[in-house]
Amino acid sequence: MAERRLLILFGSQTGTAQDTAERIGREAKRRHFQCRVEALDSYDVANLINELLVVFVCATTGQGDPPDNMKMFWRFLFRKNLPPASLCQMDYAVLGLGDSSYPKFNFVAKKLHKRVLQLGGNPLLPVALGDDQHDLGPDAVVDPWLLALWDKILALYPLPPGLEVISPDIRLPPKYTLHYLAEDSPHPDGGLLQPTAPRAPPSELHPFAARMVSNQRVTAESHFQDVRLIEFDIAGSGITFSAGDVVMIQPQNCPEDVQQFCQLLRLDPDRCFLLKPTEPGTALPARLPQPCTIRHLVTHYLDISCVPRRSFFELLSYFSTNELEQEKLQEFSSAQGQEELYSYCNRPRRTTLEALWDFPHTTSAIPPEYLLDLIPRIRPRAFSIASSMLAHPGRIQILMAVVQYKTRLSKPRRGLCSTWLASLNPEEGDVRVPLWVKKGGMKFPADPDTPVIMIGPGTGVAPFRAAIQERAAQGWKGNCLFFGCRQKSKDFYCQAEWEDLVAKGFLTLFTAFSRDQEEKVYVQHRIRENRRLVWELLTSGSAHIYLAG
For β-strands 292-293 and 272-277, DSSP reports them as antiparallel
What is the DSSP code (8-state) at residue 498? H
The C-alpha angle with vertex 414 and arms to 413 and 420, in degrees rounded to 5, equals 160
CA-to-CA dists, residue 530 to 427, 488, 498, angstroms: 44, 20, 19
Judge residue 539's burial from the number of C-beta atoms within 10 Å of its C-beta, 0-12 exposed, 13-18 middle, 19 or more buried: exposed
End-to-end CA distance of the chain: 57
476-502 residues labelled b (16+ CB within 10 A) or e (exposed)? bebbbbbbbbbeeebbbbbbeebeebe
**Residue pair 414/403 in contact by the 8 Å Cβ criterion:** yes
Q: Which residues contact 111 (CB under 8 A, 6 or more apart)?
A: none
Domains of the chain: residue spans and CATH: 5-156 (3.40.50.360), 208-251+380-438 (2.40.30.10), 255-374 (1.20.990.10), 452-547 (3.40.50.80)
Predicted structure pTM score:
0.91
Q: Which residues contact 366 (CB under 8 A, 6 or more apart)?
A: 265, 316, 319, 374
**Residue pair 123/149 in contact by the 8 Å Cβ criterion:** no
Helix (H, G, I), strand (E, B) or coil at 272: strand
CA-to-CA dists, residue 223 to 414, 456, 492, angstroms: 17, 20, 11
- What pLDDT does residue 230 have? 98
90-129 residues labelled b (16+ CB within 10 A) or e (exposed)? bbbbbbbbbbeebebbbbbbbbbbebbeebbbebbbebbb
- What pLDDT does residue 207 have? 96
- What pLDDT does residue 150 have? 97
- What pLDDT does residue 194 have? 46
- What pLDDT does residue 1 have? 52
CA-to-CA dists, residue 464 to 117, 242, 484, 548, angstroms: 43, 11, 13, 9
321-332 residues labelled b (16+ CB within 10 A) or e (exposed)? eeeebbebbbbb
Can you list the residues of the chain whose pLDDT is less than 70? 1-2, 186-199
- What pLDDT does residue 279 have? 87
pLDDT tens digits, one per residue of 107-153: 999 999 999 999 999 999 999 999 989 877 888 899 999 999 999 99
Q: Which residues contact 75 (CB under 8 A, 6 or more apart)?
A: none
Distance CA 510, CA 523 (A): 8
Across 323-401, the runs of DSSP E, i.e. the strands, are 381-384, 395-401
**Residue pair 506/477 in contact by the 8 Å Cβ criterion:** yes
Distance CA 23, CA 150 (A): 13
**In degrees to the nearest 10, what's the CA dihedral of 139, 143, 144, 150?**
150
Distance of CA 264 to the CA centre of its chain: 27
pLDDT tens digits, one per residue of 70-117: 999 999 999 999 999 999 999 999 999 999 999 999 999 999 999 999
Q: Which of 303, 298, 296, 274 is nearest to 190 (CA)?
A: 296
The type of residue at 93 is A
For β-strands 246-249 and 432-438, DSSP reports them as antiparallel
The C-alpha angle with vertex 480 and arms to 474 and 485, in degrees rounded to 5, equals 120
Distance CA 216, CA 332 (A): 43
Q: Which residues contact 341 (CB under 8 A, 6 or more apart)?
A: 310, 313, 332
